[in-house]
Amino acid sequence: MSSYYDFEEAEGFATGAIGEPGARTFYLQIRGDGRTISVKCEKQQVAALSEYLRGMLADLPDTGKIDASTATLHNPVEQDFVLGSVGLGVDRASMRMVVQLEEMVLIDEEDDVFDLIEEEEDDTSTVVRVLLTPEQTRAFCDTADLFLNAGRETCKWCGQPKDPSLHACPKFN
């Protein structure tokens, strides 16, 4: 049985990372209606989501003040699922961004086609749909930028993150 969460009036859409640079775990967190959903994701997923949302915001008017507290993770962060695909859209009637997060579903490569069809019917994946104001979206993107830039320093020669203890730059090998 699949789970579906719909946040039409989200109190928060947040991102953050837990752990030390180089070993951080990134999360997206949706809060509203007395519920909190925390989704484990990759740093690159946060970066791509922020980039696309910023592009979509360019088409909407700047409507006001940003409240950064809506884009900050609230503790405790307990993983509900791992992020798979992401859907984005704009509800022009309400001037809100639509973000849909779907759980990653692993498929056994040894299964044949008939088993895959049965699995789709018995789908146990989770889907979260959230509507965001432009202010919430901007706050999310600004917070994402902070966490994305707070990682390890990059090597000026190869562009790869430096390990604090040692960096074997491939440009010098």
Q: How far apart are CA 62 and CA 47, in angstroms?
A: 22
| Phi, psi angles (nearest 5°) of residue 170 | -65, -20
> 154 and 160 in contact (C-beta within 8 Å)?
yes
Tens-binned pLDDT, residue by residue, of the chain (173 aa):
579 999 999 999 999 999 887 788 999 999 999 999 999 999 999 999 999 999 998 877 777 777 777 888 999 899 999 999 999 999 888 889 999 999 998 776 665 544 554 555 556 789 999 999 999 999 999 999 999 887 767 777 777 776 766 767 777 76
**pLDDT of 89:** 93
Q: Which residue has the tokens 């104001």?
A: 133
Q: How far apart are CA 101 and CA 38, in angstroms?
A: 11
Q: How far apart are CA 105 and CA 132, in angstroms?
A: 26
> 157 and 171 in contact (C-beta within 8 Å)?
yes
Q: Which residue has the tokens 């950064």?
A: 68
| Residue 54 CA: distances (Å) to CA of 60, 149, 166, 171 | 10, 16, 35, 34
**pLDDT of 150:** 78
β-bridge partners, 87: 100
Q: Which domains does the chain have, with CATH numbers?
A: 3-172 (3.30.2450)
**pLDDT of 121:** 54
Amino acid code (one letter) for 15: T
**pLDDT of 7:** 95
Please state the pTM of the whole predicted model: 0.79
Secondary-structure percent of the chain, ordered helix, strand, coil, rounded to 5: 25, 35, 40
**pLDDT of 114:** 47
